[in-house]
Amino acid sequence: MGYAIRNFNSPHNVRQTGYNTERQTPIAGDLTGVQKTKTGGYTGRQTLNTEGQTTLTIQQQTMRKIIFYFLLDSTFQKGVDIIAAKRKRKAGKNIDSFYNPNPTSIYIGCTVNTVYVKINTGLKIRPADWDFNLQEPSRKYPNRLEFNAFLQKAKLKIERDYLILLTNDSPITPKVIKKIMVGAFIGEKAKPVEKINFWKVFEEFMQEKAKGTKSATITKYNSTRKSLEGFESKNYALSFEKMTMKFYLDYRTYSIEVQKHLNNTIGKNLRNIKTFLAWAEIHPKKYVTNNEYKRFKCETDEPEPIYLNASELAKFESYKGSSSGQAKSRDIFVFQCYTGQRIGDILSLRKQDIRLIENGPSKEWVLYQQKGNKKYPIYIPILDIAEGILDRYCKDINDNDIVFAGQCAVIVNRNIKKIAKEVKIDTVITKVNYSGKERIQLTQPKYSFIGTHTARKTFISLSLQWGMRPEQLKAITGHTSVKQMTPYIGNDKANLTKDLKAKWNKNEPTSEN
């Protein structure tokens, strides 16, 4: 360690060169030599200046500027060539497969007079989620902004305290630096960022939806959750940072190859997943920090609708019923065919929802559909057959009573399949769906395909065939556009063929010689 002896007219004179500091300080008393001053880190020798004052020339140790930086504890997996991996990373290549897959501690470190000093910040992160150039969590990491704010706030406090040491000529030793580093995290280190549990948030989403969503929609969300749980058990644990296009492709593959789902089912599940992620993105806690999920495609197929023609509907109407339960299911189904509403709305119908149309003897059903959050009512004219059914069921009930009490959609579906089979609605038809690109073809008697939704398709298809305009019809069914109503429209193939032949036979082109 070097020192210098100089005489100056002024007792306090400081010369700085780079990071070396040379200073003369007046010393009282008869000191013959100094090895260390009260501030530490100095050496010097006593001498007399021209004015008879005792001075000491001291020189601080040569020391590089201290730079504080963040680093990870266990970055790479065991057996990885770290030097080669770092070269690849520097070249811009993805080396996520080389990283330690588990969260590892984040340290802040520096070098003080060739002594390496580091402390644990109390936070952990997976190396794949860390930006090694910026020394902060990567953009895809959940709560990146809050996480990085915590680290940068502590780092700024350390740099501030270090600057105070410099400006006050305080000792700069590894022990002192470590003390201010520890002090920056006191009271904050015990509050690491809580790891977000995907399923805990999903449960919160379900609880919120249950407050204002009909039970049928909740059932669909539960089906989607069951599908995701199956995916997780066969693939990897789900988290918000994994909701990327890779997940989208993996989930579609799993749905097709393992669950054997049709495209329509896959599309519905993906729509539900997107609804959940959109909710999580606008949540006050900002569970989702990237919007890659918005690129998920909810592709569906549109198979030809299955509906009842007029003669088949007449068979249902004339069915007597082998039990009171089947008779009620028949009435519910026929009423649905004549009103075009969803089974959930039919089963929720109360007597007070039916009223006389203003300035006329006819009745109408005022319905706030159980779909979404519609704030406007749908007015459904009650046709004669439907009115006859209502008269029977409303005769002995109160205004607030359910009209078709005692049945659910499952029972109605089961009974109407039996009725359709008994009245011989048994034309053999082929239904085509797709799972991915694989064509799934099912050929069975028509009664096996009939369900409560067949009634809604029957109402729409027959109304259009009998001359109603689509714009009028959607006002009754509650569809927001004609395009939205298209999957419910079936073609009358017999009349279509008849009309086609009539037009072409009448205008058949003739060859000219």
Confidence of residue 465 (pLDDT cuts 50, 70, 90): confident
Terminus-to-terminus CA distance in the chain, angstroms? 119
Helical (H) or strand (E) element with 502? helix 493-506
User: Could you give phi then psi for residue 259, rounded to 5 degrees?
Assistant: -80, -15
Specify the pTM.
0.52
pLDDT at 172: 83
Cβ atoms of 98 and 76 within 8 Å: the answer is yes
Q: Is the pLDDT of residue 59 over 70?
A: no
pLDDT digits (tens, 9 = 90+) for 243-260: 999 999 999 999 999 999
pLDDT at 42: 38
Q: Averaged over 351-364, what is the pLDDT?
A: 76
Crossing angle for the helix pair 324-339 and 384-394, nearest 10 degrees?
A: 140
pLDDT at position 50 over 90? no
d(C-alpha 248, C-alpha 298), whole Å: 10
pLDDT confidence of residue 194: 58
Share of the chain above pLDDT 90, in %: 46
Name the H helices within 105-244.
Answer: 144-167, 174-185, 198-210, 215-234
355 pLDDT band (50/70/90 cuts)?
confident
pLDDT of residue 351: 92
Q: How many CB atoms lie within 10 A of CB 1?
A: 10
Mean pLDDT of the chain: 80
**Tell me: the pLDDT tens digits for 370-420?**
555 555 688 888 999 999 999 999 998 999 999 999 999 999 999 999 999
The partner residues of 109 in beta bridges, in order of sequence, read 69, 118
32 vs 429, more confident: 429
List, in order, residues 6 or more apart from 120 with CB less than 8 Å away.
73, 105, 106, 107, 189
pLDDT surpasses 50 at 39: no
Residue that the structure tokens 């029977």 belong to: 392
Would you say residue 49 has pLDDT above 50?
no
pLDDT for the residue 330: 95
Distance CA 293, CA 315 (A): 48
pLDDT at 307 over 70: yes
- Please report the pLDDT score of residue 320 as a whole number: 87
Rounded (10°) angle between helices 470-477 and 452-465 = 150
Does pLDDT of 47 surpass 70?
no
Pick the closest to residue 98 from 87, 111, 109 (CA basis).
87
Nearest to 313 by CA among 117, 490, 136: 490
* Average pLDDT score over residue span 148-174: 87
Q: How far apart are CA 212 and CA 232, in angstroms?
A: 29
Look at 109-123, 357-371, 392-406, 454-468 and tell me which has the smallest mean pLDDT.
357-371
Strand 44-48 vs strand 54-59: parallel, antiparallel, or unpaired? antiparallel
Count of CB atoms within 10 A of residue 81's CB?
A: 11
- Lookup: tokens for 429: 């038809």
The tokens for 334 are: 């026929």
What is the structure's pLDDT at 235? 94
Angle between the 324-339 and 310-318 helix axes, to the nearest 10 degrees?
150
State percent of the chain over pLDDT 70.
Answer: 77
When pLDDT is cut at 50, 70 and 90, the band that residue 20 belongs to is very low
CB-CB contact of 433 with 449 (8 Å): no
Alpha helices in 371-492 (DSSP H): 384-394, 409-422, 452-465, 470-477, 482-485
pLDDT for the residue numbered 494: 59
Q: How many whole angstroms separate alpha carbon 271 and alpha carbon 176?
A: 57
Please say whether the beta carbons of 24 and 12 come within 8 A: yes
| Residue that the structure tokens 């070098």 belong to | 111
pLDDT over 80 (residue 423): yes
pLDDT exceeds cutoff 60 at 40: no
pLDDT band, residue 24 (cuts 50/70/90): very low
At the second CATH level, the architecture of 310-496 is Orthogonal Bundle (1.10)
Distance of CA 148 to the CA centre of its chain: 22
Check whether 7 has a pLDDT greater than 80.
no
Structure confidence at residue 8 (pLDDT) = 33
pLDDT bucket at 349, cuts 50 / 70 / 90: very high
Name the band, by pLDDT with cuts 50, 70 and 90, for residue 173.
confident
Alpha helix (H) residue ranges in 322-383: 324-339, 343-347
Tokens 């990491």, residue located = 141
The CA dihedral of 125, 127, 130, 132, to the nearest 10 degrees, is 140
Instruction: Give the separation between CA 322 and CA 56, rounded to whole angstroms.
Output: 117
- Buried (b) or exposed (e) across 20-52, using 16+ Cβ within 10 A? ebbbbbebeeeeeebeebeeebbbbbbbebeee
Going by pLDDT thresholds of 50, 70 and 90, the confidence category of residue 22 is very low
pLDDT single digits (tens) 256-292: 999 999 999 999 999 999 999 999 999 998 888 788 9
